[in-house]
């Protein structure tokens, strides 16, 4: 008897879990149904492009429902090129791009009678951080790559003390992890198949990385600029290669592109936007939209 | 459950003998059915969970070549699905926790049950049971903030190691181990002790040769429940073990290197994985492996205990 009743709370818990799982699965079709319904009201924004931006764009679209429930925003990924092509063909209202439009693309758009207008919506910059006691101030991307792939395992090889390097990274599900893999570990080379060394500590959060950096003099990690507190962590100045200038990460160096591990994230519209699209873009670039940028680990735009 | 069945069985015979009317017997039957349903539903739910796991996780074992599953690299976003580092991680953390928690828990239980004066026992026992109520995430936080820096200061390259996880898990398993083995010791009939002391055994001899063997079943169950809690714990472990899918070099130093456990892997990667992808089913595959490991531990414990021992404890509890 006693054992049966001990099992009951657990049983209820399992039932509750099952219910919540089915509730989650059931939600998705409803969402798309309501989107389709509101398109008829002609208040729908088609938003397509960069996979880097897709989560951010989805988060904005979701949050914007509470600001103006009558506007529905359909977000799709597919890559920056796809989004820009769709903008040129006039099938989307906003194209997401993690790079600037090429001259050729702008020319093609203008031939089609579309004048693309660029909006910077966020900055994607990663600061390389170490403990304040670490004597190393600057590193090159090839050095970082060698460290993170395990080819260099001691700080003395990059001008530091004779101590082992403790590598910190975000979990693999983080977009930042993938960006770091592509741009730093693989140095931006397409054919490069290097991956993180197995001894890399994978932290579940940005805060996990910063707090380990604060207490471990041999640790190195990366984090979105928004998460770094210069009083407690030291930001490393990074150069593209041994000849290049070493640039410290900042919102300014991130925005003008001189910091090598940063890029602007853009949205393009066909012509100067008005009405619903303008309101939406203003909201994205305003404090509310930029708060979401910070939440997802990107660098928010400076607010005047 | 069996105990409950026996009780109601006894009552039914008395009820039938006295012929107290249909109503009472009908009421008995309803209660019996409810109890039976509750028992059966647990089995049904466990079966359903296992079937669900199989359905979602089976592609792992069909689509990924075995050689790759036994690979040394876990990097799912590049299609590397080696489970060995995760198995080693879980094993190291759990074994460490058992090594710390079992002796400590048993000694505490023996002190509480056999040596401590009753008034002290009445104070200590509720306090120990209260420890079991501390949410694991709080312990994880404590480990992250206090324990990890301590271990780093002791000379480990980082404080986020398998040992840090073991310490937290040991602390979590301790209340279970102490409380249940102390109950088992308490259930040993007083005559056993009196008998042993009467033939001239010292208190230590009585505890070691008579009481402990008599309480064997309960102690094994206590350890088993403690281990089960340790191997399945997720959040606290994820916070303090560093989550590096690395296979440490064999030796005592391996407890002081970062590891990635199976549970932490599922928790960390489930959120963003595309449903139906190979990565998704591999996470369920890890779930199957965990299920099988726990099942193996339970069966082993059941074998160790044996049926004779089980009967003895049940009588003790009554």
pLDDT tens-digit map of A274-296: 889 999 999 999 999 998 887 77
B271 touches chain A (CB under 8 A): yes
Among candidates B72, B75, B243 on the partner chain, residue whose Cβ is nearest the Cβ of A201: B243
Q: Say what the alpha-carbon torsion angle A8, A14, A19, A23 is, to the nearest 10 degrees.
A: 150
pLDDT at A1 over 60: no
In this structure, are strands A237-239 and A138-140 parallel, antiparallel, or unpaired?
Answer: parallel
Are A108 and A88 contacting, i.e. CB atoms less than 8 angstroms apart? yes
Q: Write out pLDDT tens, residues B262-312.
A: 999 998 887 666 667 788 899 999 999 988 888 888 888 778 776 544 444
The residue ranking higher by pLDDT, B180 or B277, is B180
Looking at residue A252, its pLDDT comes to: 75
B133 touches chain A (CB under 8 A): no
Q: Residues for chain B: how many in total?
A: 318
Strand, helix or coil at A157?
helix
- Classify residue A80 by burial, with Cβ atoms within 10 Å: 0-12, 13-18, 19+: buried
Q: Write out pLDDT tens, residues B192-247.
A: 999 999 999 999 999 999 999 999 888 988 888 888 778 888 888 988 999 999 89
Q: Which residues make Cβ contacts (< 8 Å) with residue B242, sequence separation at least 6?
A: A201, A202, B158, B160, B161, B258, B259, B260
Strand, helix or coil at A194?
coil
Mutation site, A27, A186, A199, interface B, largest B CB count within 10 A: A199
The residue ranking higher by pLDDT, A289 or B156, is A289
Asked if B258's CB is within 8 angstroms of A199's CB, the reply is: yes
Looking at residue B24, its pLDDT comes to: 74
Spatial separation of the C-alpha atoms in residues B126 and B215, rounded to whole Å: 21
B245 touches chain A (CB under 8 A): yes
Q: Write out pLDDT tens, residues A93-123.
A: 999 987 778 788 898 888 888 899 999 999 8
Spatial separation of the C-alpha atoms in residues A249 and A179, rounded to whole Å: 16
Place of tokens 């993180």: A196
Among candidates B42, B76, B158 on the partner chain, residue whose Cβ is nearest the Cβ of A201: B158
Residue A122: closest CA among A50, A183, A177? A50
- Counting residues of chain A whose pLDDT is more than 70, the rounded percentage is 84
B226 touches chain A (CB under 8 A): no
Please report residues of B whose CB lies closer than 8 A to that of A193: 78
Asked if B158's CB is within 8 angstroms of A166's CB, the reply is: yes
In this structure, are strands A201-203 and A166-170 parallel, antiparallel, or unpaired?
Answer: parallel
- Look at the alpha carbons of A141, A142, A144, A145 in this order and tell me if their dihedral is positive or negative: positive
Q: Write out pLDDT tens, residues B26-44.
A: 888 999 999 999 999 999 9
Looking at residue B19, its pLDDT comes to: 52
Question: Chain B residue closest to A163 (CA)?
Answer: B157
Buried residues in B178-192 as b, exposed as e (16+ CB within 10 A): bbbbbbbbbbbeeee
Q: Write out pLDDT tens, residues A49-82.
A: 887 788 889 999 999 999 988 898 999 887 777 8
Residue B148: closest CA among B135, B133, B163, B159? B159
The domains found in chain A, sorted by start residue, are 42-123+263-295 (3.40.190.10), 124-262 (3.40.190.10)
Q: Write out pLDDT tens, residues A216-253.
A: 999 999 987 767 888 899 999 999 988 889 999 887 78
Please report residues of B whose CB lies closer than 8 A to that of A8: 38
Stated as kind and residue range, the H or E segment containing A47 is strand A44-49
From first CA to last CA, the distance across chain A in angstroms is: 68
pTM recorded for the entire structure: 0.71
Shortest Cα distance, chain A CAs vs residue B143, angstroms: 13
Asked if A2's CB is within 8 angstroms of B268's CB, the reply is: no
Mean pLDDT along residues A200-211: 85
Looking at residue B306, its pLDDT comes to: 63
Are A291 and A120 contacting, i.e. CB atoms less than 8 angstroms apart? no
The residue ranking higher by pLDDT, B208 or B155, is B208
Asked if B242's CB is within 8 angstroms of A201's CB, the reply is: yes
Looking at residue A174, its pLDDT comes to: 66
Are B105 and B224 contacting, i.e. CB atoms less than 8 angstroms apart? no
Q: Write out pLDDT tens, residues A27-39.
A: 333 343 344 443 3
pLDDT at B109 over 90: yes
CA atoms within 13 A on the CB side of A256: 7
């Amino acid at each position: 008897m006693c054992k049966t009743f001990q099992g009951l709370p657990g049983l209820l818990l399992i039932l509750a879990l099952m219910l919540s799982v089915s509730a989650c699965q059931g939600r998705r079709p409803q969402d798309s149904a309501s989107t389709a319904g509101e398109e008829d009201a002609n208040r729908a924004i088609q938003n397509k492009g960069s996979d880097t931006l897709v989560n951010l764009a989805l988060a904005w679209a979701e949050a914007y429902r509470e600001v103006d429930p009558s506007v529905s925003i359909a977000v799709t990924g597919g890559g920056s090129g796809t989004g820009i092509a769709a903008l040129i063909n006039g099938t989307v209202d906003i194209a997401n791009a993690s790079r600037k439009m090429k001259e050729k693309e702008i020319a093609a758009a203008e031939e089609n009678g579309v004048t693309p207008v660029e909006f910077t919506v966020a900055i994607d910059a990663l600061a390389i951080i170490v403990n304040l006691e670490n004597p190393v101030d600057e590193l090159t991307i090839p050095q970082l790559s060698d460290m993170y792939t395990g080819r260099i395992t001691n700080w003395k090889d990059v001008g530091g003390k004779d101590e082992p390097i403790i590598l910190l990274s975000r979990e693999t599900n983080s977009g930042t992890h993938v960006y770091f893999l592509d741009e730093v570990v693989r140095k931006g080379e397409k054919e490069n198949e290097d991956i993180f060394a197995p001894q890399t500590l994978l932290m579940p959060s940005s805060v996990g990385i910063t707090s380990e950096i604060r207490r471990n003099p041999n640790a190195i990690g990366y984090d979105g600029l928004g998460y770094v507190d210069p009083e407690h962590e030291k930001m490393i100045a990074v150069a593209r290669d041994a000849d290049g200038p070493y640039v410290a990460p900042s919102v300014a160096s991130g925005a003008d592109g001189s910091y090598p591990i940063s890029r602007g994230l853009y949205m393009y519209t066909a012509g100067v936007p008005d009405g619903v699209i303008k309101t939406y873009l203003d909201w994205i670039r305003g404090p509310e939209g930029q708060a979401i940028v910070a939440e997802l680990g990107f660098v928010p735009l400076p607010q005047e | 459950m069996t105990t409950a069945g026996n009780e109601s069985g006894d009552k039914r015979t008395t009820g039938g003998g006295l012929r107290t009317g249909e109503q009472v017997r009908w009421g008995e039957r309803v209660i019996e059915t409810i109890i039976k349903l509750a028992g059966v539903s647990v089995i049904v739910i466990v079966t359903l969970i296992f079937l669900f796991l199989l359905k979602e996780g089976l592609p792992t074992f069909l689509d990924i070549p075995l050689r790759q599953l036994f690979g040394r690299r876990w990097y799912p976003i590049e299609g590397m699905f080696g489970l060995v580092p995760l198995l080693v991680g879980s094993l190291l953390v759990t074994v460490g926790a058992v090594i710390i928690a079992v002796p400590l828990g048993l000694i505490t239980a023996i002190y509480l049950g056999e040596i401590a004066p009753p008034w002290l026992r009445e104070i200590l026992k509720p306090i120990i049971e209260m420890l079991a109520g501390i949410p694991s995430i709080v312990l994880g936080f404590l480990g992250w903030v206090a324990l990890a820096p301590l271990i780093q200061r002791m000379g480990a390259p980082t404080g986020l190691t398998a040992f840090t996880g073991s310490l937290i898990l040991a602390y979590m398993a301790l209340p279970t181990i102490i409380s249940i083995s102390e109950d088992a010791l308490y259930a040993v009939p007083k005559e056993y002790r009196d008998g042993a002391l009467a033939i001239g055994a010292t208190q230590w001899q009585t505890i070691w040769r008579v009481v402990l063997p008599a309480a064997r079943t309960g102690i094994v169950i206590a350890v088993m429940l403690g281990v089960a809690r340790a191997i399945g714990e997720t959040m606290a472990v994820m916070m303090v073990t560093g989550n590096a899918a690395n296979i440490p070099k064999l030796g005592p130093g391996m407890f002081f290197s970062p590891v990635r456990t199976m549970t932490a892997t599922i928790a960390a990667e489930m959120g963003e994985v595309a449903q139906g992808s190979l990565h998704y089913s591999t996470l369920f595959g890890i779930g199957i492996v965990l299920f099988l490991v726990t099942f193996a531990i339970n069966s082993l414990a059941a074998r160790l205990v044996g049926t004779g021992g089980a009967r003895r404890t049940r009588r003790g509890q009554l």
